[in-house]
Structure 1
Amino acid sequence: MTSASSQNVSEQEAYDIAKDAYVYAYPLLLMDVFTRQGANYAAPTGIVTQGPYNQFSHARAFPPADFKAVVRANVDTLYSSAHLDLGPEPIVLSVPAIDRYFMLPLLSFWTDVFAVPGTRTTGRNSAREFLLVGPSWQGQPPAGLEIIRSPTRFVGVGGRTQTNGVADYDNVHKIQASYKLTPLSAWGKGNYTPPKGIVDPVIDMKTPPPVQIEKMDAAIYFARFAELLKDNPPGPFDYPMIHRLERVGFKVGQNFDLNVTPPQIKQAFERGSGDGKALLAKAAKRAGGEGGKDWVYTTRSGVYGVDYLYRGAIALCCLGENLPQDAVYPSLSTDSDGQPLDGNSSYVLHFDKGKFPPVDAFWSVTAYDTDGYFIPNALNRMALGDRDKLVTGADGSLDLYIQADTPGSDKEANWLPVAKKPFTLLMRLYSPKSEFLAGFWMPPPVQKMN
């Protein structure tokens, strides 16, 4: 690191640069901690995100009612996740011919979704083999392999396969077994058995990644950022940010030691980091819908361009957001009168005929407590959707009854049970149609019943 250029920058300018750079860098540091934790296993555990590099970890069942490992778990799909390291060599991703909804979004270390093999993109019943290569790989792919170039060395895979209830598990397990990750050097040489993962006892496996980053001081934060940039380069539209960082002595591809910069630069970085952290926290609450009335959702996730604050906010609140064309998750915490949803009251979610959620795949509504966990109930029913045997009215409309006590045997097919305490709802729209993405259809309000 050289600090010659930093001599000509005022402390205020350095502060502004550091504050913006903290926000810019955040997704990269979060993915780094998240991935090193998630890949620090000898073998896949079957829990989402837990498995060695370049191996799928497949969820084999829906989370039980008392599941609390992640918030807002779903009972629509079974996950197949992986952490990829494309540094040593490219990886072949094999996708079978599948006649149901699935997607395998590939997430760069900047948290942009850069490819999504799946029903919407590559189509149904279309077996494909992709050669996933890192940003600097040069070479010719073997015949039959299509290159997908990752913008970063490390990649997250957040796969989902449509699962129509517990009775469908065996069918989905066969599909999951057909998702394969094979190093290029082993491809085409018979069945590949991946090696055991290397477990590093030094890695903090207990502290959540956002908390680990929050505890970093400016020197540690920017030193790690500089290291990560060597394998996970800036995007093609990031030159303005990179050129600003050069003015304070931070250069892509080089180490950075804040402790040897001039005192005013060091102070500016420490102040800018603290304020950048606070700005992100505030933006993350807003992006996550905190305090929002009506259904809260975004149709601009997955790819962020140069909106670094929104990208960082989504990483902090909702890491791994999909492209809206693949799935959108409207959330609700208030009724049509703006009052918090509470299981001591009864509610109805009414869809007029022809106004059901517009999707090419399927939709569901899940109830959670205010911490984002399932609500145990006698029916063991966590969600309702278009794959359930819902009963429509004589006029073709649909009512979902959201309450603690049964609405009566004639309405029980449409009953989403909750507890007699505050709760929230999450609607999931898989492959939403353009009328929703363009804003011509919105989820109807939930009304309190008299």
Structure 2
Amino acid sequence: PPERVLPSFVSTTMSELSDTDIVRLGVNAYIFGYPLVLMELTKHKMTTRPNKFHHRFATPDHNFRQVVKPNCDTLYSMAFLDLSDGQPVVVSVPDSNGRYYIVQCMDAWSNVFESIGTRTTGNKEGHFGFCGPSFNGTLTGAPKNVTRVDCPTNMAWLVGRARLNGPDDAPAVNAMQRQFGMTKWEAYVGGKVDSEGLDAAAGGSKGGEPKKEVAEMSAATFFDTLAGLMKDNPPSPPDLEMEADLKKLGIVAGEAFKPSDHVLKLLDEGAIPAAKGKIPMLPGPAPQHSNGWFNAEDTYPIGSYGKDYHARAFIALLGFGANLREDAVYPILRSDSEGRPLSTLVDGAEAPLVAYKLHFPLGTIPPVQAFWSLTLYDAADYLSENPINRFCIGDRDKLEY
């Protein structure tokens, strides 16, 4: 009988890729994996133990470098979940007595998969059972009602923020922070709630600049780290096409990344520099500006990125940990009304002292349901050092208008 040829099931191999293909795939792979690698380094810099709240009992200043664009309006309580053993972790929140708060929950890729707090679950005491992707059981037998929360990845970043009404309000917020709990399921079923948090400023975090350390990674280190992290934190089902492209480069979940020297050279000298240059460039259509102000929330799906990998990396670089637009908006201004860059953004130069005025016409104070503020950042998106150590001003200050 005549022979018939079946299509090959073998995917494209590295040897079949041109140098141009390798660079192109490398750029896309770096952009795709950037938030996951940054998440891992952020975890190591901001926390010392998994499944434990790390509290910041005071507002940050210009020395804080662990995440870009921190705010001075809330006090932070952060934790990284490790659900890789298959056991759920119960997060307990206290009655906030009317104080606005939010616990933003991000998967390992920086997608917000849950928001706990005033807007969504209210201000009463609550208990939330976080279940990793390998948990197939039910949350029964607990002494208190537990709301199930399914986490898409084994690693998750929880960022708690509680409204601060000025420095004198810190003790009250600190008392609330100390009531946040995080308990493994077996202990919780046994009647225990672990509210022993750590003081992030007193040895509870290592410090450092995760963004800078990622930028300094070689291709071998970056992509090997990415492959290792993908074992416990696999991409979502819509990312199958991207996973196939990663495999063409030899980036496979749970496997060591060992390309040839030639491929590493192409990635180090071609792909990674190109990706670093592309990430800060605004993805998609040009955003609408009003007198120089830029609202990222109007253009990009912050916190819910889908397959918009460029937007996800862009936000990770410039505002890692940004909330869903339902919870916060972040208008950004980098130039004055005549289009001149703000003097505080002149990096490495003796900028002239300039006085700026921000005018709100009568009746146009920002319409918010919680709070608003104006915060000063430097060129690297950290709080800007200044002689009076004032980093923000807002609705809780004694403004006259």
Please give the range of the TM-score, normalised by the shorter of the 2 chains: 0.7 to 0.9
Deviates more, 1:159-168 or 1:6-15: 6-15
Q: For residues 34 and 385 of structure 1, do their structure 2 counterparts lie closer, same or farther at Cα, with a shift above 3 Å needed? A: closer
The residue that corresponds to 1:441 in the other structure is: none
The residue that corresponds to 2:292 in the other structure is: 294
Report matched runs for 1:245-284 at 5 Å: 245-252=246-253, 254-259=254-259, 267-268=262-263, 270-272=265-267, 274-284=269-279
- 1:90-148 deviation digits (Å, cap 9, x = unpaired): 1101122221211111111111111110111112x332211111112111112522221
Per the TM alignment, residue 3 of structure 1 is displaced from its structure 2 partner at its CA by 8.9
2 CA distance for matches of 1:286 and 1:390?
Answer: 37
Determine helix, strand or coil for the equivalent of 2:262. Answer: helix
Task: State yes or no: 1:24 paired with 2:32.
Answer: yes
Per the TM alignment, residue 234 of structure 1 is displaced from its structure 2 partner at its CA by 0.7
Contact 1:112 1:304 in 2 (8 A): yes
1 CA distance for matches of 2:197 and 2:369?
Answer: 40
The residue that corresponds to 1:327 in the other structure is: 328
Partner amino acid, structure 2, of 1:375: N
2 CA distance for matches of 1:270 and 1:77?
Answer: 45
Query: Which runs of no fewer than 5 residues in structure 1 stay unpaired?
Result: 41-51, 198-204, 393-450
Partner amino acid, structure 1, of 2:332: S
Partner amino acid, structure 1, of 2:360: F
Determine helix, strand or coil for the equivalent of 2:376. Answer: strand
Partner amino acid, structure 1, of 2:121: T
- 1:367-414 deviation digits (Å, cap 9, x = unpaired): 35556324232xx6543222233222xxxxxxxxxxxxxxxxxxxxxx
Partner amino acid, structure 2, of 1:82: A
The residue that corresponds to 1:121 in the other structure is: 120
2 CA distance for matches of 1:120 and 1:194?
Answer: 23
The residue that corresponds to 2:399 in the other structure is: 390
Deviates more, 1:207-216 or 1:163-172: 207-216
Q: For residues 280 and 103 of structure 1, do their structure 2 counterparts lie closer, same or farther at Cα, with a shift above 3 Å needed? A: farther
Contact 1:18 1:268 in 2 (8 A): no
Partner amino acid, structure 2, of 1:271: L
2 CA distance for matches of 1:102 and 1:31?
Answer: 23
What number of residue pairs does the alignment pair up? Answer: 361
Partner amino acid, structure 1, of 2:78: S
Per the TM alignment, residue 287 of structure 1 is displaced from its structure 2 partner at its CA by 5.2
The residue that corresponds to 2:387 in the other structure is: 376
- 1:181-200 deviation digits (Å, cap 9, x = unpaired): 11111104345558999xxx
State the percentage of identical aligned residues. 35
Partner amino acid, structure 2, of 1:79: Y
Residue among 40, 53, 57 paired with 2:50: 53
1 CA distance for matches of 2:226 and 2:376?
Answer: 39
Q: For residues 287 and 94 of structure 1, do their structure 2 counterparts lie closer, same or farther at Cα, with a shift above 3 Å needed? A: farther
The residue that corresponds to 1:13 in the other structure is: 21
Task: State yes or no: 1:358 paired with 2:367.
Answer: yes
2 CA distance for matches of 1:331 and 1:233?
Answer: 33
The residue that corresponds to 1:76 in the other structure is: 73
Contact 2:83 2:132 in 1 (8 A): yes
Q: For residues 77 and 257 of structure 1, do their structure 2 counterparts lie closer, same or farther at Cα, with a shift above 3 Å needed? A: closer
2 CA distance for matches of 1:272 and 1:63?
Answer: 37
CA RMSD of aligned residues (A): 3.1
Q: For residues 100 and 15 of structure 1, do their structure 2 counterparts lie closer, same or farther at Cα, with a shift above 3 Å needed? A: same
The residue that corresponds to 2:44 in the other structure is: 36
Q: For residues 239 and 167 of structure 1, do their structure 2 counterparts lie closer, same or farther at Cα, with a shift above 3 Å needed? A: same
Q: For residues 241 and 190 of structure 1, do their structure 2 counterparts lie closer, same or farther at Cα, with a shift above 3 Å needed? A: same
1 CA distance for matches of 2:207 and 2:161?
Answer: 26
Partner amino acid, structure 2, of 1:117: I
Contact 2:105 2:158 in 1 (8 A): yes
2 CA distance for matches of 1:223 and 1:381?
Answer: 42
The residue that corresponds to 2:93 in the other structure is: 95
1 CA distance for matches of 2:208 and 2:376?
Answer: 28
Determine helix, strand or coil for the equivalent of 2:116. Answer: coil
- 1:406-444 deviation digits (Å, cap 9, x = unpaired): xxxxxxxxxxxxxxxxxxxxxxxxxxxxxxxxxxxxxxx
Task: State yes or no: 1:236 paired with 2:237.
Answer: yes
2 CA distance for matches of 1:154 and 1:240?
Answer: 23
2 CA distance for matches of 1:179 and 1:306?
Answer: 34
Deviates more, 1:6-15 or 1:143-152: 6-15
Contact 2:180 2:195 in 1 (8 A): no
Q: For residues 209 and 63 of structure 1, do their structure 2 counterparts lie closer, same or farther at Cα, with a shift above 3 Å needed? A: closer
Could you tell me the TM-score, scaled by structure 2's length? 0.79
Partner amino acid, structure 2, of 1:159: G
Report which structure shows greater RCO (CA 8 Å, sep ≥6): 2
Determine helix, strand or coil for the equivalent of 2:27. Answer: helix
Q: For residues 310 and 184 of structure 1, do their structure 2 counterparts lie closer, same or farther at Cα, with a shift above 3 Å needed? A: same
Q: For residues 270 and 148 of structure 1, do their structure 2 counterparts lie closer, same or farther at Cα, with a shift above 3 Å needed? A: farther
Task: State yes or no: 1:139 paired with 2:134.
Answer: no
2 CA distance for matches of 1:162 and 1:54?
Answer: 23
Contact 1:222 1:258 in 2 (8 A): no
Per the TM alignment, residue 245 of structure 1 is displaced from its structure 2 partner at its CA by 2.9
Determine helix, strand or coil for the equivalent of 2:183. Answer: strand
Deviates more, 1:205-214 or 1:159-168: 205-214
Per the TM alignment, residue 282 of structure 1 is displaced from its structure 2 partner at its CA by 2.6
2 CA distance for matches of 1:249 and 1:117?
Answer: 39
Residue among 347, 360, 365 paired with 2:356: 347
Contact 1:55 1:181 in 2 (8 A): yes
Deviates more, 1:365-374 or 1:30-39: 365-374
